[in-house]
Amino acid sequence: MVSPAPRFLAAPRNVAQRNGLDSMDWEYTAELFLGGLTRGSIYALIALGYTMVYGIIELINFAHGEIYMIGAFTGLIVTGVLTMMGWNEVAILVIAATVAMIYSSCYGYTIEKIAYKPIRNAPRLSALISAIGMSLFLQNYVLLAQTSDFLPFPALIPEIGWWKPYSHIISSAEIVLIITTAVVMILLNFLIKFTRIGKAMRATSQDRKMAMLTGVDINGVISMTFIVGSATAALGGVLIASHIGQINFYIGFIAGIKAFVAAVLGGIGSVPGAVLGSLVLGWTESFFTGYVSSDYEDVFAFIFLVCILIFRPAGILGRSDTEKV
Amino acid sequence: MLKIDHINTFYGNIHALRDVSIEVAEGEIITLIGANGAGKTTTLMSISGIAPPRNGEIVFEGKPIHHLPPHEIVELGISQVPEGRHIFPYLSVSENLDMGSFLRKDTAGIRKDLEYVYELFPILAERRNQAGGTLSGGEQQMLAISRSIMARPRLLLLDEPSLGLAPIVVKKIFEIIAKINEENRTTIFLVEQNANLALKVAHRGYVMENGIISMTDSAANLLANDDVQKAYLGI
């Protein structure tokens, strides 16, 4: 018997599953709203990497979902080791996330050097195929090096005692996820707007040749973009794995596709767009599941994407004129 | 100061520059004139390291630079104002100028140069918070030149600074070019299709045809030359 493919995220409780509660009551709506916010935050952590890389080198980095998956695996290994040593949960979470971010950044950096840099001046299709190849390679590499089974991931974010009565609306793990994402977004915004490397990134994404002529080391900027994108994805990997409770080698695919949709929805290449697109996608899925049906959640998400792209091809915040000459 | 020695540059299979040799002395304004597609822009891109030559040498102040990446060439003091201005469209005017001084560390000098370009082009000071892409063509050209001045180059490469601009703006731009050459002792390598204009401001000139340097002389002699007059000056 074939077991059904596991969902990327557990669906919010459906109307039918809630006995004796009026589906229109405020608590249910708040629950769906916050559930959507959590999903949106998760998508945003992954979508950032897609959108930043696209902004700089106009490549859809299909191996990005795999970076997220590798981040989750790294987190699991570190967690296992530290749990055996008897560390406390919060310390484990911080260290697992840090190690995962560093390790995944190395992967992101290396992937760019091996799979994308040598064909940077080739037609875009070549780079795209290289990205898909990289993605399959990494999936199978983890499959062989680890296992094809789902592995349990311990819940590292502790339930806060006094919050318990409200945790059916939003759990403390979800709050941690949302706050972490918000902090990452603020830091990233600061990096892009006010630092030297951020200015170089913006210049490179707007006019690569001119950035070179003003003295920007393009290779450095591209590497930095992959490092930052990989680190946020790995952070997402650890937090989400701890939230959902299990991982396998295939989680990067679903997560990557969803985050990619979110990035396109918001306007690929735009960092605020990726965040907005993620939130819109998260809320759309959450409310649709909550009020209509959880069976067609993904279908509805993609119909929504198609509609947005018909009426606003550049995405919500995308610039239609960024096509370079 | 700059010695281009028999370089050959290719775009794919297209042999764009054939055995091109050009010399530029310190403090000079030299101009490279020629028709569309002659290889003038490619020459500048070869100097800047964007389209490195396949063979031959480019030596800047005694140091071979033809194998260096573009950012190291900028660091040595060569700045280019490319054809079509290439303003960063979503960076503000002042951020565009910041990009010009990207590799510099001398904060005081940067501030002084910023005052200098705002004095040169007061309109840029007025629009300092406006996005570069919203400026008019003439203003963008002023910004492009100012951005290169912010790099405080010893050699300034200018590609078609008159292209698509109103005559009064062109006049102003060329005055500024002469001015920065005189005041800052900046050496200038000017590529122009408007040969008449270029030869009037330059000291010496090179004529390029189909990737080959066909003639070189002082600007005054080139202006008086029959062939140049027929081919490029429309006389």
Q: Tell me the domain boundaries of chain A.
A: 62-158+167-249
Yes or no, beta carbons of B88 and A217 under 8 Å apart: no
Name the CA dihedral angle for A44, A48, A49, A50, rounded to a multiple of 10 degrees: 90
Q: How would you class A22 by CB atoms within 10 Å of its CB: exposed for 0-12, middle for 13-18, buried for 19 or more? A: exposed
Residues A202-235: tens digit of each pLDDT: 999 999 999 999 999 999 999 999 999 999 999 9
Measure CB to CB from residue A215 to each of B82, B95, B102 and give the nearest one. B102
CA distances from B66 to A125, A147, A161 (A): 31, 51, 67
Rounded CA gap, B188 and B209, in Å?
21
What mean pLDDT is predicted for residues B26-39? Answer: 92
Amino acid A16: pLDDT: 45
Rounded CA gap, B191 and B203, in Å?
13
Rounded CA gap, A202 and A197, in Å?
9
Of B201 and A167, the structure prediction assigns the larger pLDDT to B201
Long-range CB contact pairs, A185-189, < 8 A, 24+: A185/A44, A185/A275, A188/A48, A188/A228, A188/A232, A188/A271, A189/A271, A189/A272
Q: Are A155 and A253 in contact (CB under 8 A)?
A: no
Q: Complex ipTM, two decimals?
A: 0.93
CA distances from B88 to A93, A173, A215, A289 (A): 42, 42, 14, 43
Q: Chain A residues with CB inside 8 Å of B99's CB? A: 199, 203, 211, 214, 216
Q: Are A278 and A37 in contact (CB under 8 A)?
A: no
Yes or no, beta carbons of A212 and B50 under 8 Å apart: yes
Minimum Cα–Cα distance from A211: chain B residue? B99
Amino acid A4: pLDDT: 44
**B166 φ/ψ angles, rounded to the nearest 5 degrees:** -65, 145
Q: How would you class A257 by CB atoms within 10 Å of its CB: exposed for 0-12, middle for 13-18, buried for 19 or more? A: middle
Yes or no, beta carbons of A214 and B99 under 8 Å apart: yes
Residues A123-152: tens digit of each pLDDT: 889 999 999 999 999 999 999 998 888 999
CA distances from B113 to B100, B124, B216 (A): 11, 13, 34
Cα atoms in the 13 Å half-sphere on the side-chain side of A293: 5
Yes or no, beta carbons of B147 and A214 under 8 Å apart: yes
Q: Chain B residues with CB inside 8 Å of A270's CB? A: none
Rounded CA gap, A263 and A61, in Å?
12
Minimum Cα–Cα distance from A220: chain B residue? B71
Yes or no, beta carbons of B70 and A212 under 8 Å apart: yes
* B43 near A CB under 8 A: no
3-class secondary-structure state, position A160:
coil
Q: How many domains does chain B have?
A: 1
Q: State which residues form the domain around B92.
A: 2-233
| Beta strand ranges found along B2-127 (DSSP E) | 2-11, 14-24, 29-34, 55-60, 63-64, 78-81
Residues B72-129: tens digit of each pLDDT: 999 999 999 999 999 999 999 999 999 999 999 999 999 999 999 999 999 999 999 9
Amino acid A320: pLDDT: 61
Q: Chain B residues with CB inside 8 Å of A319's CB? A: 90
Q: Are A56 and A201 in contact (CB under 8 A)?
A: yes
Nearest-5° Cα angle at A318, A315 to A322: 130
DSSP B131: B
**Beta pairing partners, B55:** B8
Yes or no, beta carbons of A216 and B102 under 8 Å apart: yes
Amino acid A41: pLDDT: 93
Amino acid A8: pLDDT: 61
A297-311 vs A271-291: helix crossing angle, rounded to 10: 130
Yes or no, beta carbons of B99 and A199 under 8 Å apart: yes
Yes or no, beta carbons of B99 and A212 under 8 Å apart: no
- The sheet carrying B29-34 orders its strands as B78-81, B155-159, B187-192, B29-34, B204-209, B212-218
Q: Is B49 left (phi over 0), alpha (psi -120 to 50) or beta?
A: left
Q: Chain B residues with CB inside 8 Å of A200's CB? A: 102
Amino acid A13: pLDDT: 52
* B166 near A CB under 8 A: no
Helix H or strand E segment including A223: helix A218-244
What mean pLDDT is predicted for residues B24-49? Answer: 94
* B82 near A CB under 8 A: yes
Measure CB to CB from residue B89 to each of A196, A206, A219 and give the nearest one. A206
Yes or no, beta carbons of A212 and B102 under 8 Å apart: no
**From the centroid of its chain, how far is CA B205?**
14
Nearest-5° Cα angle at A216, A215 to A221: 170
Token pair recorded at residue A179: 């706050």
**From the centroid of its chain, how far is CA A222?**
19
**Beta pairing partners, B23:** B3
Q: How would you class A95 by CB atoms within 10 Å of its CB: exposed for 0-12, middle for 13-18, buried for 19 or more? A: middle
* B70 near A CB under 8 A: yes
Amino acid A3: pLDDT: 43
Yes or no, beta carbons of B50 and A209 under 8 Å apart: yes
Rounded CA gap, B17 and B54, in Å?
10
Yes or no, beta carbons of A199 and B75 under 8 Å apart: no
Amino acid of residue B63: K
Measure CB to CB from residue A214 to each of B74, B89, B90 and give the nearest one. B74
Instruction: Give how far B211 is from chain A: nearest CA, Å.
Output: 22
CB atoms within 10 A of CB A227: 19
Minimum Cα–Cα distance from A210: chain B residue? B86
What mean pLDDT is predicted for residues B200-221? Answer: 94
Over chain B, what is the mean pLDDT? 93
Q: Is the pLDDT of residue B175 over 60?
A: yes
Q: Which of B223, B216, B228, B215 is nearest to B24 (CA)?
A: B216
Q: Which of A185, A174, A189 is nearest to A244 (CA)?
A: A174
Low-confidence ranges of chain A (pLDDT < 50): 1-6, 15-16, 19-20, 322-325
Q: Is the pLDDT of residue B231 over 50?
A: yes
**A98 φ/ψ angles, rounded to the nearest 5 degrees:** -65, -50
**Mutation target vs A (from B44, B68, B71; most A CBs, 10 A cutoff):** B71
Rounded CA gap, B146 and B140, in Å?
10
Amino acid A10: pLDDT: 60
Rounded CA gap, A197 and A120, in Å?
21
